[in-house]
Amino acid sequence: MAFREVAEKAWKIPERFVEQRYTSVMHGVGMHGETPFIAHAMDYDTYGRDGHLVPGMVVSIESYIGEKDGREGVKLEDEVLITETGTELLSRFPYEEDFLDGAAT
């Protein structure tokens, strides 16, 4: 799948959180925002790079949701292996379900 297609299919950030969005929808795993770097659709023309997800890649799906000047925010990150048939979640630590009720609706 092309990086731009990933960006276009990604979850749309509610308007009140856009200003504080994380820099990418996903990025490679490494020391610091490694390739591939997939920008949000709204930022793709400025920061997006061409490329395709291919089997064998490991990517970090990372997000931050919080309002500007808000007191709280949530940052989540999962590592995913791209396979021939889809994806395999590599992260093993579960989310705290009580914290997810009604999140960012």
- Residues 59-104 pLDDT 10s: 999 888 888 888 888 888 899 999 999 999 999 887 777 766 665 5
Task: Give phi and psi for 97, each to the nearest 5.
Answer: -55, -35
Is the CB of residue 60 less than 8 Å from the CB of residue 28?
Answer: yes
Beta-bridged to residue 80, according to DSSP, are 59, 89
Q: What's the pTM? A: 0.78
What is the per-residue pLDDT across 10-65, written as a single tens digit (0 to 9) for each? Answer: 999 999 999 988 889 999 987 766 789 999 999 999 999 899 999 999 999 988 88
Say which DSSP state 68 is in.
T
The Cα 77–Cα 85 span in angstroms is 22
H helix runs in the chain, sequence order: 3-9, 44-47, 97-100
Domains of the chain (ranges, CATH numbers) = 3-94 (3.90.230.10)
Query: Residue 47 in 3-state DSSP?
Result: helix
